[in-house]
Amino acid sequence: MGLFDGIKIRKAIMHQQKGDLAQARAAYEELYSQGVNLCAYMLPWAVMLLREGGEENYKKAKEVLVKAQKASDLTPERRKELVLDFAVACFKLGEGEKAVELLERQHQKSPSGDTYGALGYIYVAQGDADKALAFNEQAVDYDDEDPVALDNLAQTYYRLLGDKPGNFIVEEVEGRTETAVSGYDFILICCTFKRSND
């Protein structure tokens, strides 16, 4: 990596962090067209593309991530991020089985909140209630404060098992002194209530 490439990468990432996505996109595309093959910018660019959504962005994210596999700055941690982002792109493009296969393999090697979150979401989206419930309960056992794991478990109960929050939520919340209850408090209460009644 040349000195100017490093400066361009930092500038592109700063644009992205400030929300100036058009400038970030232009800088990333320039680096890419010049043949700069570094995860330092390719991974943030792929995430930006995934967040922007749309079939063309998902396809571009996959293309960038395939190329990033050969980047000289690919570390084991960046490889995990790359696999996760590639699986998300696959899922968004309708390749759910491929996404699950990649994530399950990654999860077996190195379980993390990220793989629990992504797989838990996909299992819910695929509609397999038993698999989603078992996995998302395991995810909450892994980290009972992870908002994604809690949301996935609540979505499992709500979307797949037909459980709808009822008056117990109001009763749980009324005793709190805070003026507002966050969405994650709501989910935590739902999960806690459901688990205590099992």
Report pTM: 0.80
Write out pLDDT tens, residues 103-113: 999 999 999 99
Mean confidence (pLDDT) of the chain: 86
For residues 120 and 149, the answer to whether their CB atoms sit within 8 Å is: yes
For residues 65 and 89, the answer to whether their CB atoms sit within 8 Å is: yes
The number of CA neighbours under 13 Å toward the Cβ of 45 is 31
At 187 the pLDDT is: 56
Give the mean model confidence (pLDDT) for residues 81-97.
97
Give the mean model confidence (pLDDT) for residues 79-102.
97
At 13 the pLDDT is: 94
Sign of the dihedral defined by the CA atoms of residues 73, 63, 20, 88, in that order = negative
- In this structure, what are the phi and psi dihedrals at residue 161, rounded to the nearest 5 degrees? -105, -5
Is residue 137's pLDDT more than 60? yes
